C-alpha cells in the first residue's frame, strides 16, 4: 500500500477531492477495516481521504419527530455507551457492543461499518431493523436513502465514488417495542459472526398480540436480510412457543447463505438462524408479558 | 517520499520521518525506538500493539500514523513514573502474579488494562475478561493476567 494522505477540513473540500479522484480515492474514518484491506491489497487507492478532521460529523442527537441523528463519525464505542442510544434504541447499543474489542470500537465508526457493507456488520442489521436511513452528500447534492436500499452486495452500497455518508437517521420506536441482537461466533465479539440476527417486536399490550415485527438476518446473504415471511407470521398474533418455533423455522428457510463460506456450511448457518431467532423471540416475549 | 511529522508520545513532542501509509505501531518502533509496542497479527485481533490515544485503548497496527497528529499517545514505556526501577502498579502486579511468560502480549495487555482501570477503577472479573477479549495470550491461559489486573485495581 502506497498512497497520498489527504485531510479535508470541510465537507465541501472532501467532496471536491472525491469528485476529482473518482475511483482512485478511498475515504478513511477509523481505518480498522480499510487498513486491513489496503495491507492485504484487496484495495489499493492512490489517495486516502481522512474525513475525521471535518467538524460536525460526530454526534448522537435526538430531536423529537425526526428521532435519533447519528453522525457518520460516531464511534462504535460511543454507540455502545451512549445513554441516549441505550434509552431510545437499546438494540443498536447491544449490537455495537458486540463489534470487535474495545480497542477497535474506540476507533471504528458507524459510517465505516455501514460503508464497508459486510453482510455480518453489527450496526447494519440493527439499523435495518430500526428502519434507519442515511443522509448522503455528493457533488450533485444531497439524498436520503433507507438503509434497506443502501446495501447492494457484499462490500457494495449505493454510494457513488464522489459521495460521502454524512448522517444516519433513526426514527423513534413505537411504544411497547423491544429488540434483541444475538451473535454467534467462535470467540465472541472479536470474530465476524457466523450468523447474527436482530429481532424487533412491537406489542399491543391490551390485546396482548404482536403489532409489528422485524427480523433481520446477518451473514446469510449478500446484504442484511429481512425475514419477511417470518415477520408476517407474528403480526396480529398472540406469541406463544408454537408460533415462535414456526417463525424461527420460516426465518431459517428465508436465509440464503452462500456455499463455501469459511465461517459455516449452508446447513449449519440455516440451523443457527433458527436457533437464534427462536431464542431472541423468546427473550422478547417473556419481557413483554411481564411488563 | 517520507514526510516530516510531529507526534506527541509519552508527554514529549518528537519529530519523525514517516511514509503516509505507515501504521502508528511501525512509526513508534522504527522511528522512535519504542519497541515495547509489539506488532504481531497486524489484523487488529491480537492486541499486542495496544497503546492509548487520548486516554483510549487503540490497536496501533490498524491506526494510520497520519491520524496521530495532535493526539496524545501513551505507550508502555510511558506509564511508569520516570524514576528508574519504579513500575506502574499494573506492571508490578503482573510481576507479582506471574502474569508473564514469553512476555510478547504483556505490553498490550497492560495498556488495555490501564484503559480499563482509568474508566472503571474497580472492575469485576467479568468486566476484566470482557475488556481484555481483544488481547490474546498464547502462554498463560489468562488466569494469572486477570488476577494481576484485579490485584492492581485493589492497590490503585
Q: Are residues B32 and B70 in the same domain?
A: yes
Q: What is the distance in angstroms between the Cα of A36 and the nearest Cα belonging to chain B?
A: 6
Q: Looking at beta carbons, which residues of chain A come within 8 Å of B107?
A: none
- Which of B4, B41, B67, B109 is the best substitution to test chain A (most A C-beta atoms within 10 A)? B67
Q: What is the pLDDT of residues B141-150, one digit of tens each?
A: 899 999 999 9
Residue span(s) of chain A under CATH 3.30.43.10 come to 4-50
Domain boundary among B25, B52, B78: B78
Written as one string, the DSSP assignment of chain A is ---EEE--SSHHHHHHHHHHTTTTEEEESS-TTHHHHHHTTS---SEEEE-TTSTTS--EEEEGGGEEEEETT-BHHHHHH-HHHHHH-HHHHHHHTTSS-HHHHTT-BHHHHHHHT-TT-HHHHHHHHTT-EEEEEETTEEEEEEHHHHEEETTEES--TT-EEEEEEEPPPPTTEEEEEEEE-TTGGGSPPSEEEEEEEEEETTTTEEEEEEEEEESSSSS-EE-HHHHHHHTTS---HHHHHHHHHHHHHH--PPTT-TT--HHHHHHHHHHHHHHHHHHHHHHHHH-
Which superfamily, per CATH, for A177-290?
CO dehydrogenase flavoprotein, C-terminal domain (3.30.390.50)
Which residue in B19, B45, B131 is closest to A102 by CB distance?
Answer: B131
The verdict on residue B37 lying in a domain is yes
Chain B residue at shortest CA distance from A191:
B45
CATH number for the domain harbouring residue B139: 1.10.150.120
- Which of A36, A101, A103, A112 is the best substitution to test chain B (most B C-beta atoms within 10 A)? A103
**H/E stretch holding B7:** strand B3-9
What is the ipTM score, two decimals?
0.95
Q: What is the distance in angstroms between the Cα of B119 and the nearest Cα belonging to chain A?
A: 12
Q: Are residues B132 and B112 in the same domain?
A: yes
Q: Looking at beta carbons, which residues of chain A come within 8 Å of B59?
A: 32, 103-104, 107
The verdict on residue B83 lying in a domain is no
DSSP B120: -
Residues 6+ apart with CB under 8 A from B61: A35, B23, B24, B25, B26, B39, B41, B42, B43, B44, B49
Tell me the CATH number for domain A60-170. Answer: 3.30.465.10
Q: What is the pLDDT of residues B32-84, one digit of tens each?
A: 999 999 999 999 999 999 999 999 999 999 999 999 999 999 999 999 976 67
pLDDT, residue A286, reads 67
Which residue in A4, A35, A187 is closest to B20 by CB distance?
Answer: A4
CATH number for the domain harbouring residue B23: 3.10.20.30
d(CA A196, CA A173): 21
Q: Collect all residues from B whose CB is shorter than 8 A from any CB in A.
A: 19-21, 23, 42-45, 47, 50, 53, 56-59, 61-64, 66-67, 112, 115-116, 131, 133-135
The verdict on residue B84 lying in a domain is no
Q: Are residues B56 and B93 in the same domain?
A: no
Q: Can you give the residue range of the structural domain that contains B51?
A: 3-78
d(CA A282, CA A232): 17
d(CA A124, CA A225): 10
Q: Are residues B13 and B72 in the same domain?
A: yes
d(CA B152, CA A260): 46
Q: What is the mean pLDDT of residues A109-123?
A: 97
Q: Are residues B61 and B118 in the same domain?
A: no
**Bigger pLDDT: B50 or A258?**
B50
Residue B97 has pLDDT above 60, yes or no: yes
pTM of the model: 0.95
Residue span(s) of chain A under CATH 3.30.390.50 come to 177-290
A49 C-beta neighbours (distance < 10 Å), count: 23
Domain boundary among B22, B54, B78: B78
Q: What angle do CA A249, A129, A226 make, to 5 degrees?
A: 40
d(CA B58, CA B112): 8
Q: What is the pLDDT of residues A145-196, one digit of tens each?
A: 999 999 999 999 999 999 999 999 999 999 999 999 999 999 889 899 999 9
Q: Looking at beta carbons, which residues of chain B come within 8 Å of A5?
A: 20-21, 64, 66
Residue A289 has pLDDT above 90, yes or no: no
Q: Looking at beta carbons, which residues of chain B come within 8 Å of A107?
A: 58-59, 62-63
Q: Which fold has domain A4-50?
A: 3.30.43
The verdict on residue B46 lying in a domain is yes
Q: Looking at beta carbons, which residues of chain A come within 8 Å of B20?
A: 3-5, 48
Residue span(s) of chain A under CATH 3.30.465.10 come to 60-170
Q: Which band of pLDDT confidence, cut at 50, 70 and 90, is reported for residue A64? A: confident
- Which of B65, B118, B133 is the best substitution to test chain A (most A C-beta atoms within 10 A)? B133
Based on the structure, what is the number of domains in chain B?
Answer: 2
Q: What is the distance in angstroms between the Cα of B106 and the nearest Cα belonging to chain A?
A: 16
A73-91: string of b/e by CB count within 10 Å (b at 16+)?
bbbbbbbbebeebeebbbb
Q: Are residues B74 and B9 in the same domain?
A: yes
Amino acid at each position: 500500500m502506497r498512497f497520498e494522505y489527504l485531510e479535508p477540513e470541510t465537507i465541501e473540500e472532501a467532496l471536491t477531492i472525491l469528485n476529482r479522484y473518482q475511483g482512485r480515492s478511498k475515504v478513511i474514518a477509523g481505518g480498522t477495516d480499510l487498513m486491513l484491506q489496503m495491507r492485504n491489497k484487496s484495495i489499493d487507492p492512490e489517495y486516502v481521504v481522512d474525513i475525521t478532521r471535518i467538524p460536525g460529523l460526530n454526534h448522537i442527537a435526538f430531536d423529537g419527530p425526526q428521532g435519533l441523528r447519528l453522525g457518520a463519525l460516531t464511534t462504535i464505542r460511543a454507540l455502545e455507551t451512549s445513554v441516549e442510544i441505550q434509552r431510545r434504541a437499546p438494540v443498536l447499543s447491544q449490537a455495537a457492543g458486540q463489534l470487535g474489542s474495545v480497542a477497535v470500537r474506540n476507533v471504528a465508526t458507524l459510517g465505516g461499518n455501514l460503508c464497508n457493507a459486510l453482510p455480518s456488520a453489527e450496526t447494519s442489521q440493527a439499523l435495518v431493523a430500526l428502519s434507519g436511513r442515511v443522509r448522503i452528500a455528493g457533488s450533485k447534492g444531497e439524498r436520503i436513502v433507507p438503509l434497506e436500499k443502501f446495501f447492494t452486495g457484499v462490500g457494495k452500497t449505493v454510494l457513488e465514488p464522489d459521495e460521502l455518508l454524512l448522517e444516519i437517521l433513526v426514527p423513534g420506536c413505537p411504544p411497547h417495542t423491544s429488540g434483541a441482537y444475538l451473535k454467534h461466533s467462535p470467540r465472541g465479539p472479536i470474530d465476524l459472526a457466523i450468523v447474527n440476527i436482530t429481532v424487533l417486536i412491537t406489542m399491543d399490550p391490551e390485546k396482548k398480540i404482536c403489532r409489528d415485527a422485524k427480523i433481520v438476518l446477518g451473514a446469510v446473504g449478500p446484504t442484511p436480510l429481512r425475514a419477511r415471511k417470518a415477520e408476517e407470521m407474528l403480526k396480529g398474533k398472540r406469541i406463544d412457543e408454537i408460533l415462535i418455533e414456526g417463525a424461527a423455522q420460516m426465518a431459517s428457510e428465508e436465509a440464503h447463505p452462500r456455499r463455501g463460506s469459511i465461517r459455516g456450511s449452508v446447513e449449519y448457518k440455516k440451523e443457527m438462524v433458527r436457533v437464534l431467532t427462536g431464542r431472541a423471540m423468546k427473550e422478547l416475549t417473556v419481557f413483554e408479558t411481564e411488563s | 517520499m517520507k514526510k516530516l511529522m510531529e507526534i506527541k508520545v509519552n508527554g514529549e513532542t518528537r519529530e519523525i520521518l514517516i511514509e503516509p501509509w505507515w501504521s502508528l505501531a511501525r512509526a513508534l518502533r522504527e522511528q522512535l525506538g519504542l519497541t515495547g509496542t509489539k506488532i504481531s497479527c497486524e489484523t487488529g485481533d491480537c492486541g499486542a500493539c495496544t497503546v492509548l490515544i487520548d486516554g483510549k485503548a487503540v490497536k496501533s497496527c490498524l491506526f494510520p500514523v497520519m491520524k496521530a497528529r495532535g493526539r496524545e499517545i501513551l505507550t508502555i514505556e510511558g506509564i511508569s513514573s520516570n524514576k528508574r526501577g519504579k513500575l506502574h502498579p499494573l506492571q508490578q502486579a503482573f510481576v507479582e502474579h506471574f502474569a508473564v511468560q514469553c512476555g510478547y502480549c504483556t505490553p498490550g495487555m497492560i495498556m488495555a488494562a490501564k484503559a480499563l482501570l482509568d474508566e472503571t477503577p474497580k472492575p469485576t472479573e467479568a468486566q476484566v475478561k470482557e475488556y481484555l477479549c481483544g488481547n490474546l495470550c498464547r502462554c498463560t491461559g489468562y488466569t494469572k493476567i486477570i488476577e494481576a489486573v484485579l490485584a492492581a485495581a485493589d492497590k490503585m
